[in-house]
Amino acid sequence: MDRQTGSKAAKRPTPSACCSSTRAAISNIQVPCGITSPEQPLVVEQAVMPVPVERWPIVPAGNYWLGTDGDEGFIADAEGPAREVAVASFRISPYAVTNQEYAAFVNTTGYVTESERFGWSYVFHLLLPSLEQANIIGTPPQTPWWLAVEGAYWKQPEGPGSEIVSRMDHPVVHISWNDATAYCRWAGVRLPTEIEWETAARGGLRGKRYPWGDVLRQDGEHQCNIWQGVFPTLNHASDGYAGTCPVHTYKPNGYGLYNMSGNVWEWCSDWFTSNPMHRGSSERPNGPAHGTSRLMKGGSYLCHQSYCNRYRVAARSSNTPDSSSGNIGFRVAVDLL
């Protein structure tokens, strides 16, 4: 996708707003019947993806330093203080779950995502084709760059008229936490915990800002898919992408994992907490027992240093389990038997 357009209509971001929005932010939307006429299943041809589980990278057991004491961290997100955590070994997918993989799940089970049941999902304003403006049914006041688009879901990422046939190796998006866990139950996998995800993202490095080190660009080369320009009005897309990119884009980290920074937010199994004492730990590897929002890691193609800056490995965010948008996907893990 190479829509590199700008808009003067979007408001400047407010410091308290996040780069994804909850479904309840515009809960007055009424779409009476959602998407009631399913299309023909996508033909999922044999391809390089998915990688068999036995070939997934192994993250070795050990004690790892997670979080950050740096001044870039968001205090309200409980990124710090840094702490040492004992982690058991596990396998994790080298890529986020792709459109091809999710299509196989839906074709086999007939599963209907929450975006389809609600009848809408969030699409970033610069990615919405002009011909689809009629499908905009609301926008959250705190994040006006997000548009609630009727008919937007994983197979129509920008709403009616869009498709994923040319993006089967891109991460599936418009996936809620509930949708992700439904896939996991079918595939016999699970979402990683936050401490697993961050340990894996660091790729064996300690205390670094990104999966590859502390410098955003190595030898002037882009290492991840994030916003290039002035958020949220102008994206130069100098990294090659204005939206999602294929899951194998850019160099992998030390464990062989791709796109642990940018591209799409990835759901973790944990409930989110803003209390540093309640984060995942050696004694409580799954994080808090209760909450209202689920944790997300990794940032997305919309993150920028001037605003979100949450594509750092220590960064964390959250959303409600039923929320979805065009920059939220997931990656899966399994216990090492």
Q: How far is CA 30 from each of CA 26, 53, 148, 161, 190, rounded to the nearest angstrom?
A: 10, 41, 11, 21, 33
- Is pLDDT at 141 greater than 90 in this prediction? no
- Cβ atoms of 321 and 177 closer than 8 Å: yes
Name the pLDDT band for 223 (thresholds 50, 70, 90). confident
Between 283 and 244, where is the model more confident? 244
pTM: 0.88
Q: Mean pLDDT of all residues in the chain?
A: 86
Q: What is the pLDDT of residues 146-175, one digit of tens each?
A: 999 999 999 999 999 899 999 999 999 999
Cβ proximity of 146 and 325 under 8 Å: yes
The answer to whether residue 125 scores a pLDDT higher than 80 is yes
Concatenated DSSP letters for 42-62? P-----SPSPPGGGSPEEPPE
Task: Walk me through the domains of the chain, giving residue ranges and CATH numbers.
Answer: 62-111+167-335 (3.90.1580.10)
Is 98:44 a contact under the CB 8 Å cutoff?
no
Of 5-19, 44-58, 62-76, 263-277, which range is least confident? Answer: 5-19
pLDDT tens digits for range 22-81: 887 776 665 644 554 345 566 544 433 467 899 999 999 999 999 999 888 788 888 989
What is residue 272's three-state secondary structure? coil
CB 223 within 8 A of CB 263: no
- Note the pLDDT of residue 14: 31
Q: What share of the chain is helix, strand, coil (3-state, %, to 5)?
A: 20, 20, 65
Coil/strand/helix, residue 117: helix
